[in-house]
Amino acid sequence: MPSCPAILIAAPASGQGKTTITSALARLHTRQGRRVRVFKCGPDFLDPYWHSLASGAPVYQLDLWITGESDCRQRLHDAAQEADLIIVEGVMGLFDGNPSAADLSQHFGLPVLAVIDASAMAGTFAALAFGLQHYRPNLPWAGVLANRVGSVGHGAMLSDAPNYWGALLRNPALQLPERHLGLTVANELPDALERLDAAADALADTALGKLQWDGDGDGDSWQRWSVDFPAPHTAIPIPPLLQNKTIAIAQDAAFCFIYAANLDCLRAMGAKLVFFSPLADNALPDCDAVWLTGGYPELHAAQLAANTALRDSLQAHIAHNKPVWAECGGMMALFDTLITTEGESLPFWGLLSGTVTMQKRLAALGSQQLCLEAGTVRGHTFHYSVTDTPLQPIARTSRPNTEASADKGEAVWQQGSVRASYFHAWFPSCPEAVAGWFV
């Protein structure tokens, strides 16, 4: 059974700095020559871009419902066989959601390191750390790290907290930039790696950063957090349902919400994957099917609308009755019009009838399932827009373990060979159903 030091980085709430600390820790140990594997708890697309840049390795999601216990166990088992260190970033607050980061911690024995924004507290910091550790019995615990501390003296005021691993001083340079769907994608920023190096340097000055690597597991090294990762039960093989099929996948700054596991799943079904940029390319690659992925088409609406050559190529693909799966942002670009939060009306590709209107508040968020004849696909929804279309849904998603209804869940629309929805699907949850979108 493989064993590997592992830690789950959590917080009492969102916005405490989990992603920065996770990436900094991964960068610190990667620079020291260790093989680091990072995972993200929950369905987030954006944080993994930073973790992948920091570790130099693909990042996969872990979610006890969306991806499933067996999938989580297999990925952790595989990582433990090749990695020196496993880091999992939690989601929201430690106990938020069902399943929560705490559930994942207890299920796999992952010690929790709590990151707490201590910028406006002193003695309460220790009380909060104590409460997080003891709120749920038998929660594996690594300790606590103070973030955004005002001064060295302020950090000293926090050091009475149990299992205290130091403090990071408040520094705007360590803040990762955000926008309406979350963090800015790392590869959009020319100084992204420099930001991570600065964060890693700051972390290196803490007790956590100075903890030695080698030891006998008696508490003086990273081996104190060594975890056994047994193999799961025999996995069900993925059938080669897309053998000899070529799938063209949108991938650029406008379309960047892609799970690494989804690409793996398509390849496991026998598909050849080719990638194209709806922003820059004037034609689709030679392909049997198209996947228009999620992302930020609203930030690039003018450039997308101007690329009429790509639109015409996509229209010709559809006219030949070749499949298109359009997911969230990929779906938005297919409609006639985008209305911005300022009320400006912008043209989109006009391949589906309807208008997409951006909102300043979330329109939908949470885990979803799509029940089809071939099986149930799991995933999630997360978007700031609403769509007005004469198209009638052919199906609807629903919350976990509930039935679909006409007024809840995400619509799945179909027009000709195009299927479209706000639903972000986790392909490995039901490869048989997903294959039907591409044949």
Closest of 30, 31, 33 to residue 59, by C-alpha: 30
Q: How many CB atoms neighbour CB 354 within 10 A?
A: 19
Peptide bond into 99 cis (omega under 30): yes
Rg, C-alpha atoms of the chain: 23
Residue at 424: amino acid letter: H
CB 54, CB 189: distance < 8 Å:
no
Q: What gap in Å lies between CA 148 and CA 128, rounded to an integer?
A: 16
| Three-state DSSP state, 366 | strand
N- to C-terminal Cα separation, the chain = 40
Told to judge if 41 belongs to the known catalytic residues of this protein, a careful annotator would answer no
Q: What gap in Å lies between CA 70 and CA 234, rounded to an integer?
A: 9
Cα four-point dihedral sign 297, 298, 299, 300: positive
Residues contacting 386, CB < 8 A, separation 6+: 356, 357, 359, 363
β-pairing verdict for 178-179 and 182-183:
antiparallel
Tokens of 41: 């708890």
Q: How many CB atoms neighbour CB 372 within 10 A?
A: 16
Tokens 């790509």, located at residue = 310
Catalytic residue among 72, 265, 328, 430: 328
Query: What residues are annotated to the active site?
Result: 328
